[in-house]
Amino acid sequence: MKFSIHSLSFLLVFGYLFSSSAPAADAKAGEKKSEVCLGCHGQNGNSNSVQWPKLAGQQTTYLEVQLHAFKSGHRSNTMMQAIAANLSDDDISDLAAYYSSQKPSSAGADAVIAKAGQPKASMCLGCHGIQGEGKGQFPKLAGQHPDYLAAQLSSFKNGSRKSGPMQAVASGLSEADIKEISAYFGSL
């Protein structure tokens, strides 16, 4: 596995800029603004559909970075780009404050497949946290829908989702690794 130091330090600086220049976030205002997100991301951000990621309990900085990335087109998804285009910087920080403060529920996963993924997932914990809880710009993976995690890993692998560290990590994973590791994190 190879990481580019440049892309990693770029990410850290990038994350720092966002967190230091963010306006004071208001989770209560975020709750009101989240009405347009409900239909897909579910009550309190605990989506029940594998198509739509859970947002509840996700890291604040990560949520902000992703919403800015959809808005700028750095991360592409037709639905989310259309939504993010209408969000101001204040909306983004309020929504991130709201969703990160919500109690997450675990998606769960097939126990046998998850067990196969556990040893393979150890290489992810240095960035994503010992329990997959995430930190700052490193997303929480614990309890996320396995199919969503697998889809993102495939997008990093084929380059349709850009991220220096994750493209390097995902390029070394087989289809079986992706399935098993995603089940492991989803089961937490």
How many beta carbons lie within 10 A of that of residue 184, not counting itself?
26
Q: How far apart are CA 63 and CA 67, in angstroms?
A: 6
Q: Which of 7, 147, 154, 165 binds ligand HEC (CB under 6 A)?
A: 165
- Tell me how far, at minimum, the Cβ of 113 lies from ligand HEC, in Å: 14
Which residues have a Cβ under 8 Å from the Cβ of 144 and sit 6 or more positions away? 53, 54, 107, 185, 186
Q: Does residue 159 come out as left (phi exceeding 0), alpha (psi in the -120 to 50 range) or beta?
A: left
- Tell me how far, at minimum, the Cβ of 137 lies from ligand HEC, in Å: 5
- Tell me the per-residue interface mask from 13 to 32 with ligand HEC, x by CB under 6 A, - otherwise: --------------------
Binding site for ligand HEC (CB under 6 A): 3, 11, 36-37, 39-41, 51-53, 55, 63, 65-67, 77, 79-80, 83, 95, 123-124, 126-128, 137-139, 141, 149, 152-153, 163, 165-166, 169, 181
